[in-house]
Amino acid sequence: MRRQQAVRLKYRLGEWVLGAWYPELLVLDPARFEQPGWPASCAALEAQLSGKLDGLLCRKVPASFCEPGLGQYGGLIRYVSHRDVLHYVAVGGSFPEYLKQQFSSKPRQNLQRSVRRFTERQGGGAPWEVYTAPEEMERFLTEALAISKQTYQTRLLDAGLPSGPEFLAQMQALAEQGCARGYLLRDQGRAIAFAWCRQQGSRLIYDTIGYLPECASHSPGTVLLYHLIEDIFALGRHSILDFGPGEAQYKSLFATHRQEFVDLYLLKDTFKHKFLLRLHRFVARLSDALGELLQRYGVKKKVKAWIRALKA
């Protein structure tokens, strides 16, 4: 899959976003991990660059291809900010079979008990809804945004659900293609958790999620994910539920597979690009060093709590 877009590179010091750069890139995403011949040769990639583009972004390149840092790939600047990991659910068989294979007896019983108790709070009715039609996207986005604005992903990391007419138009276009699934979890009629998912090939990408912090005691994220996975198994349309990059407890808990990879930036060899990439690398390494220092002195959690309180 290929698309042209302005890709955001954040200059982040811990949980502080100092700024961002938006190079115009041709984004190339392989159909599957460890696809033969991925990434292509530099000559083949350079041939795809137009004059207006800053470069390319090759996603999900095997981690063994190159180490993080700056280098050259033919006539292009090669940049990898960090190694990453992808957790995903391989969808096959039935949902009860998945639960039995993924969870041992006691954790499975505890999970199902949490889901059952939440459902009982609603009087036995289905507590979750799924939105797939173009005309439903505006309603879903309105309710999901009300939740997303209160999450730490939005307040601290600027990584919540996007807003505005452009994003709504993207959602509606995906819905027209049958590639959109928006999930809401309700408690006594009030939306308290959401998940925005989009289809890419045979994969369903678990793109943006969130729940109201005051409702954490009801495990809304876990309950909604349980129903979402149940729904995907029932549909039988997707081979993979892709949790996206990064580590998280819920990913380790629900995922059937784990894959290490890097996102490979290949930019035209200009002074501007070299400067901005080196600056990005410097800020990232400084952030890591400060994090290790705070961890060594046992104050990292306190500092993070202070930052979150300051931004609340």
Q: Report the CATH number that the domain containing residue 100 is assigned in CATH.
A: 3.40.630.30
267 shares its domain with 305: yes
120 shares its domain with 153: yes
99 shares its domain with 232: yes
**What residues of the chain score a pLDDT lower than 70?**
152-159, 299-312
101 shares its domain with 144: yes
In a domain, 245, yes or no: no
| pLDDT of 141 | 96
Neighbour count for residue 37 (Cβ, 10 Å)? 8
| pLDDT of 245 | 87
Rounded to whole angstroms, the Cα distance separating 291 from 275 reads 24
In a domain, 177, yes or no: yes
Asked if residues 98 and 233 have their Cβ atoms less than 8 Å apart, the reply is: yes
| pLDDT of 303 | 64
| Per-residue model confidence as pLDDT tens digits over 190-203 | 999 999 999 988 88
| pLDDT of 312 | 53
| pLDDT of 307 | 60
In a domain, 185, yes or no: yes
195 shares its domain with 108: yes
Specify the pTM. Answer: 0.77
| pLDDT of 184 | 98
| pLDDT of 308 | 60
Number of domains in the chain: 2
Question: Packing angle between helix 220-235 and helix 105-121, nearest 10 degrees?
Answer: 100
Rounded to whole angstroms, the Cα distance separating 79 from 308 reads 31
| pLDDT of 201 | 85
Domain that holds residue 120: 92-238
In a domain, 303, yes or no: yes
In a domain, 254, yes or no: no
46 shares its domain with 168: no
